[in-house]
Amino acid sequence: MKKVLFTHMVSILLVTLFVAGLLLAIPRNLSKTTSAGDAQLNNYLQLKFLNINNPFQLALLQDVLDAAEPEGVQAHNSLITRLKNYETRQLEMMSRGAITRQELTWNRFFSLLLMFFRFLAIYLAVLFITYYAVETLAVYRFISTQADRPAFGHQMLNIWGRWLGHDPSLKKISLVGSFITLLFKTAVKALAYLVLFAPAYVIAYSVKSDFETSSDLFMILLAVFSNGLLLTYSNKFYTFLRNEARKGYVETARVKNLDARWEIDVEQGISHKRILHPLKDFQGHILQHIFINARFQYVNSIKEQASFLITGLMIIEMALNIHKHLSYELLQQILYRNYSIVLVILILIFYLVKFTEIGVDMLRFKWMKKIGM
Amino acid sequence: MNNREFNIRIEADHTLLLDIERFRLETGKITFLLGESGIGKTLISKALYGLLDSEPWEVQINGQPYYRYLKEGPVGRWQRDGFFVFQEPSSHLNPLLTIEQQLNEGDLAGNSYEPNILRRLWQNVAYKEIEDILKVFPKPFRPSGGEKQRVLLSMAFKKMQHFRPQKETLYIFDEPTGNLDDVYRNQVVAFLLEEYRKNPFTILFITHDYSLINELYRNHGDVLPQMRFKELQRVAENQLELKKFDTDGYLKWLEKAHPLQSGSLTGRKSLLTVEPQFKVFDRSFRIFADASHTRPAPLKVLSGKITYLKAPSGVGKTTLAKIIMGLIPAQQVHFELGALSFTEQTGRMRWQKQVWGKRAGMVFQHAEEALDLRSTVRQIFKGLPVQQKMTRNRVLKELSFIFEAPLQNTLLQRQVFHLSGGQKQRLNLLRTFILNVDLIILDEPLNGLDFNSIQRVLKMIQRKLNDGKGFLLISHNEEIFDRFIPEELQYYLWFQ
Amino acid sequence: MKRKLGTALNNLYKKKDQWWLLTGSIIFLLLWVWDRLFLNAPALRFLQIGFLNTLIISTLVILISLILAWVIIQKMFFFRGRNWAWAELLLTFFLNLIRSIPQIVGVLLGYVLITILLQLSILTASWQTLLLMAAIIALFVFLELVDLMQERITFYQSLDFYNAMKVCGISSFRIINFNILWKNSRGHILNKLIALFGVSIFLQCSVDFIISVGLSTKVSALNLPVTLGSLLAKIDSKQDILAIGYSFSHPARLSRLFLQHLQGISVAFSIVFLLIMIYKISNGYAERHRL
């Protein structure tokens, strides 16, 4: 544990030093670039009779320059494009009502910190909810496959096969009934897949067109039910369950005659109550052997899940333009090229990722210590 | 008679794995099932006990689908009253539950026979130490393989003593002594036969440890009439047959065995000399020339000779072999490999440049791990540092020394994965035997081989010895190797 | 004949990856036919270009990722074999530096770089832009492939497998590349590449969407190649998507979705269904090969 913790700390230290170095270096470089870039345009921007917002005047300027210097047509084109871009940026900044250049002050830093804590709270809430949902969905799916219940697609193909088989003993009406039921179930499942796999912004824009800063609950729900997070990770947990089910110790549990029925709420089976419980325990059933091992295997994947979740949350805040949220702020500062603030936000997010990793490693080591590894 | 015969066909992913007709299990008798590893002994026993009911297995028994066999066959009763002791004890214990928890769940919960059984299986060990083991969560390195195997056996004995088995009750033991040295093996067999004598029941005892036969003949002659020795043999691809094993023939062969090499020890080139004391993993080891560990001596391997290094399992024989091959760094060691001298300070690149495949080679004990199972037989021989190119014909010629004739052309294109355990082990040996090296280290070379293959491998070793090559051998198969290697070339390893 | 078809379909259904590749392609074909019939020509042209560009970028991403990962792995194990701990440490530090930047932020910063290069007229041809977009995404996703390759190699090195071959004099290069990566891990690598294809589509669409709604619309819309993400960000597409939610509360309007709001619906469906399809193919492949 100490070695892993040390590696994390070294990594945090090195990245912090790296970012600190950049923080010291960037403003100087940036001001150089900006002034160099502006110098070429300044001559024209200072012409009082030239309104760069007017396309007609820009076209006229290009004609005049081309006439005066026929050999410099390409250079004139480039100049006009840059003047237009300058105008675009100006317009955009005006439309946002934002201040383009911002210094990194203590006040600014604390406001970023507040945004970070808000981000952290949402992140933790989503992480816990999704972890519970991932486990629960995976267990339900695992029980269903162990019970050898065929998938909807397979059932449909079977019905089709029986229909084609012209078995006179079969009543076609009952086949039609089964087919319709299955079709309905498949449609519901397909819809659920479409929703759960949709990027958050697709779901969000199908529900509302503008997003308030106070809608943290909306964000939590969106983060849980979008971007494929739930399905991807419940599938991962399910894969661990399946892999563990093939291990030798499950055979040993079987020959000791532990409960082994893969049905819900029946004798020697598993109850809904036990599956839905946040601290799942299947004592007496061979699922307990499989589950505790799969859970142990999954611990490392929490890091991956957390990292995916952070990306998802950032996409939500950026894509939905949710004001006063950390990622929206990051987007704005990238746009205005306030790289010092960008770096501060990035390092805060890096710390979040690292502390999650440390937390997960500590949890893993706690379990490993318990089993004497 | 109530004897049962089964026609068993097992497929996985629509590929036929094995097909056997008239697999006979005699009620109330002890069937010893021999045969090379990987031939299908475990699969057959699991199929009979009803454990192959999930993907990817597709099983037919007596022409019936498996679900019908599970419903109508004897399996329900067997599962209720009997037990199955699996091989590979490491994977058959749950790493996240203590040994004690695992000894007290399901049918085993709440019966009080445990302490006596544990004392019996851990003879010469204080009960306090056994209690310590009970509190342990099984890990790859602790308890040891032998202890884990005894834990699995304890489960079987617990059930046996709690639910007195009837004649029909089936207990299956799959390589139950593979991780035990001969002393513990004999204790387990004695315990099992003691229970059997009380009230006979049906036992299927799977093993490829042929030396067990001698022990049974020597010490359990009274039960011999109740024992059946059978060997699984391949009669065609995936087609198996259960044949009676000629125990007398085996015992006679052993009796007539002569040392593998001839000629005196003097005047031979020294291929390897290891100083008697070395240290690794903070533990000091010593090599002795006698079994009572009184005469420390440097371990020597001479050209044309085979040197046998002995020690109880887990003492560090393989570790020494790996130190010699530069795979494990020692804290203190000195040895000479031909004209080259090595110490704990020698850089790893030296082995790569001067030893591996040039002066020495090593055959690892688990062919399943040592070979690339996804490669074809031909690809196994690619990339070896041999002067003569490994053409198709040359590979076929080399294979003909260890594989049954006639060799099929398709063999070269077969994936190693699809070979039987014995075939893999022979391939594992051949890969190193092909190299033009003076010294070969053999780690458990008879692992998983049937009697036929054992004889072939011994011939291979003899051929190399005749070419002046030397061997360092590590094996727990003392009954066989003691007959083939003279005492002056036997060394004993012990730690302080 | 009918029965044979039924059996063939049943067999195909068992190979979930191939099943999803086939049914997914059919569904996209149907969508295209529907759009050809009911979507206006300019929008259809944009949709086709956006769809193709998205697939081209993602294909490039996995190719670049594969090359990057392979080169890094060679270097890493070369350093390890030579005991050059400092070189290995330096390489690991740079990899961790990339790892420490959330993928979305990295790609976003990369896109800002592209817009700058476009403004400075350094990037002129659209293929250059596509390639650079792919390279930037690859830079932030290829580490998953490095991790996988490293994990596989380390796993096999911990078995006798690696040492047994080494002591026979077989070169480490051959063992790592032929025996471990090619013979024993190509299924895992292919599966990871399929997953990266999905991640790449997800990141690409998200960043394109963010850039289109967040950054200078003139710069991005005019100069960056059209992709599904940028198409989704168009105001008419957003209105089309909003119509989905509206249709739930007003079911009578449901039929309009597939005729009047076709552009946005098609774009959104293409993104979501592509992601589902890749997820299913990847899982099916993993299950079939027991990865």
Write the DSSP string, B138-160.
P-SSSS-HHHHHHHHHHHHHHHH
Nearest by CB to residue C206, choosing from A199, A209, A232, is A199
Contact A252 B86 (CB under 8 A): yes
- Residue C175 belongs to domain spanning: 50-288
| Same structural domain, A206 and A343 | yes
- Residue A228 belongs to domain spanning: 111-150+199-370
- For residue A16, is it within any domain? no
pLDDT tier at B394, thresholds 50, 70, 90: confident
pLDDT of residue A33: 44
Distance of CA A292 to CAs A226, A287, A297, A309, C273, Å? Answer: 28, 8, 9, 24, 34
**Are A253 and B106 within 8 A, CB to CB?**
yes
**Are B138 and B168 within 8 A, CB to CB?**
no
Alpha helices in C120-250 (DSSP H): 126-158, 160-166, 172-174, 184-214, 217-223, 228-233, 235-249
Residue of B374, B398, B437, B442 to mutate, interface with C, max C Cβ within 10 Å: B374
pLDDT of residue B49: 95
Nearest by CB to residue C167, choosing from B361, B372, B375, is B361
- For residue C263, is it within any domain? yes
Q: Which of A66, A99, A132 is the last residue of a domain?
A: A99
Contact A194 C276 (CB under 8 A): yes
Three-state secondary-structure class, residue B32: strand
Average pLDDT over residues C72-97: 88
Give the integer Cα–Cα distance in Å for A157 and B20: 35
Q: Which residues in chain A have Cβ-Cβ distances shorter than 8 Å to B86?
A: 248, 251-252
| Same structural domain, A340 and A317 | yes
Flag whether residue B102 sits within 8 Å of chain A, measured between CB atoms.
Answer: yes
Antiparallel, parallel or unpaired: β B202-206 and B170-174 = parallel
Q: Which residues in chain A have Cβ-Cβ distances shorter than 8 Å to C9?
A: 157, 160
- For residue C25, is it within any domain? no
Nearest by CB to residue B106, choosing from A258, A296, A371, is A258
CATH number reported for the structural domain that contains residue C245 in this entry: 1.10.3720.10
Average pLDDT over residues C205-229: 72
| Same structural domain, A212 and A92 | no
- For residue C247, is it within any domain? yes
Angle at A117 between CA A114 and CA A118, to 5 degrees: 90
Contact C209 A208 (CB under 8 A): no
- For residue C42, is it within any domain? no
Flag whether residue A249 sits within 8 Å of chain B, measured between CB atoms.
Answer: yes
**Are B413 and B376 within 8 A, CB to CB?**
yes
Flag whether residue B92 sits within 8 Å of chain A, measured between CB atoms.
Answer: yes
pLDDT of residue A29: 45
Average pLDDT over residues B194-209: 93
Between B359 and B38, the more confident residue is B359
Antiparallel, parallel or unpaired: β B64-65 and B57-61 = antiparallel
Average pLDDT value for chain C: 87
Average pLDDT over residues C12-18: 84
The reply to whether the predicted model has a pTM over 0.90 is no
Contact B94 A252 (CB under 8 A): yes
| Same structural domain, A124 and A265 | yes
pLDDT tier at C187, thresholds 50, 70, 90: very high
**Phi, psi angles (nearest 5°) of residue B58:** -130, 115
- For residue A9, is it within any domain? no
Q: Which of A99, A129, A162 is the last residue of a domain?
A: A99
Contact C206 A78 (CB under 8 A): no
Share of chain C above pLDDT 90, in %: 50
Average pLDDT over residues B3-7: 88
Digits of tens for pLDDT over chain A (373 positions)?
777 888 888 888 988 998 888 888 865 544 444 444 456 666 776 676 676 666 667 777 877 787 777 777 777 777 777 777 765 665 555 444 444 566 778 888 899 999 999 999 999 999 999 999 999 999 999 999 888 766 666 677 777 666 666 565 656 667 777 778 888 888 898 989 999 999 988 888 887 766 665 578 888 999 999 899 999 999 999 999 999 999 999 999 999 999 999 999 888 899 999 999 999 999 999 999 999 999 999 998 999 899 999 999 999 988 888 888 899 889 888 877 788 898 999 999 999 999 999 999 999 999 888 887 7
| Same structural domain, A247 and A318 | yes
Contact B105 A293 (CB under 8 A): no
pLDDT of residue C266: 92
| Same structural domain, A345 and A324 | yes
- Chains in contact with chain B (at least 3 beta-carbon pairs closer than 8 A): A, C
pLDDT of residue B242: 94
Flag whether residue A6 sits within 8 Å of chain C, measured between CB atoms.
Answer: no
pLDDT of residue A139: 97
Contact C105 A202 (CB under 8 A): no
| Same structural domain, A80 and A229 | no
Taking the CA of residue A340 and the nearest CA in chain B, the distance in Å comes to 48
pLDDT of residue A34: 45
Distance of CA A215 to CAs A230, A311, B71, B352, B477, Å? Answer: 21, 19, 58, 64, 73
Flag whether residue C291 sits within 8 Å of chain B, measured between CB atoms.
Answer: no
| Same structural domain, A93 and A212 | no
**Are A146 and A285 within 8 A, CB to CB?**
no
Residue of A255, A281, A292, A297 to mutate, interface with B, max B Cβ within 10 Å: A255
pLDDT of residue B23: 94
- For residue A361, is it within any domain? yes
Residues 133-152 of B with CB under 8 A from A: 136-137, 139, 142, 152
Distance of CA B366 to CAs B17, B150, B408, Å? Answer: 22, 22, 25
**Are A337 and A102 within 8 A, CB to CB?**
no
Contact C83 B369 (CB under 8 A): no
Share of chain B above pLDDT 70, in %: 98
- For residue C199, is it within any domain? yes
Distance of CA B198 to CAs B160, B191, B193, B251, Å? Answer: 11, 11, 9, 29
Nearest by CB to residue C244, choosing from A92, A206, A311, is A206
pLDDT 10s digits, B43-95: 999 999 999 988 788 999 999 999 999 988 799 999 999 999 998 888 999 99
Angle at A291 between CA A286 and CA A295, to 5 degrees: 165
Count the domains in chain A: 2
Between B262 and C254, the more confident residue is C254
- For residue A254, is it within any domain? yes
pLDDT of residue A97: 45
Q: Which residues in chain C have Cβ-Cβ distances shorter than 8 Å to A239?
A: 286
pLDDT of residue C243: 83
Contact C163 B385 (CB under 8 A): no
Give the integer Cα–Cα distance in Å for A130 and A201: 19
- For residue C128, is it within any domain? yes
- pLDDT reading at B217 higher than 60: yes
Contact A315 C210 (CB under 8 A): yes
Calculate the dihedral angle through the C-alpha atoms of A284, A290, A294, A296, rounding to the nearest 10 degrees. 50
| Same structural domain, A209 and A229 | yes
Q: Which residues in chain A have Cβ-Cβ distances shorter than 8 Å to C238?
A: 205, 209
- Chains in contact with chain A (at least 3 beta-carbon pairs closer than 8 A): B, C
pLDDT 10s digits, C120-164: 888 888 889 999 999 999 999 999 999 999 999 999 998 888 999
Flag whether residue C168 sits within 8 Å of chain B, measured between CB atoms.
Answer: yes
Complex prediction ipTM: 0.85
pLDDT of residue A95: 47
Contact A252 B97 (CB under 8 A): no
pLDDT of residue A27: 58
CATH number reported for the structural domain that contains residue A337 in this entry: 1.10.3720
pLDDT of residue A149: 66
- For residue C31, is it within any domain? no
Taking the CA of residue A146 and the nearest CA in chain B, the distance in Å comes to 8
Q: Which of A35, A67, A99 is the last residue of a domain?
A: A99
| Same structural domain, A93 and A229 | no
pLDDT 10s digits, B450-481: 888 888 888 889 989 988 999 999 988 888 88
Taking the CA of residue B445 and the nearest CA in chain C, the distance in Å comes to 14
Contact B348 C83 (CB under 8 A): yes
Flag whether residue A206 sits within 8 Å of chain C, measured between CB atoms.
Answer: yes
pLDDT of residue C218: 43
Nearest by CB to residue A251, choosing from B86, B96, B155, is B86
Average pLDDT over residues C96-113: 87
pLDDT of residue B181: 79
Flag whether residue C3 sits within 8 Å of chain A, measured between CB atoms.
Answer: yes
Residues 248-267 of A with CB under 8 A from C: none
| Same structural domain, A82 and A119 | no
Taking the CA of residue A215 and the nearest CA in chain B, the distance in Å comes to 43
- For residue A31, is it within any domain? no
CA end-to-end span of chain C, whole Å? 35
Contact C119 A82 (CB under 8 A): yes
- pLDDT reading at B111 higher than 60: yes
Between B120 and C258, the more confident residue is B120
Average pLDDT over residues B184-189: 92
Residue of C20, C210, C280 to mutate, interface with A, max A Cβ within 10 Å: C210
Contact C164 B369 (CB under 8 A): yes
Q: Which residues in chain B have Cβ-Cβ distances shorter than 8 Å to A372?
A: 136-137, 139, 142
**Are A311 and C86 within 8 A, CB to CB?**
no
Count the domains in chain C: 1
Flag whether residue C214 sits within 8 Å of chain A, measured between CB atoms.
Answer: yes
pLDDT of residue A210: 64
| Same structural domain, A81 and A203 | no
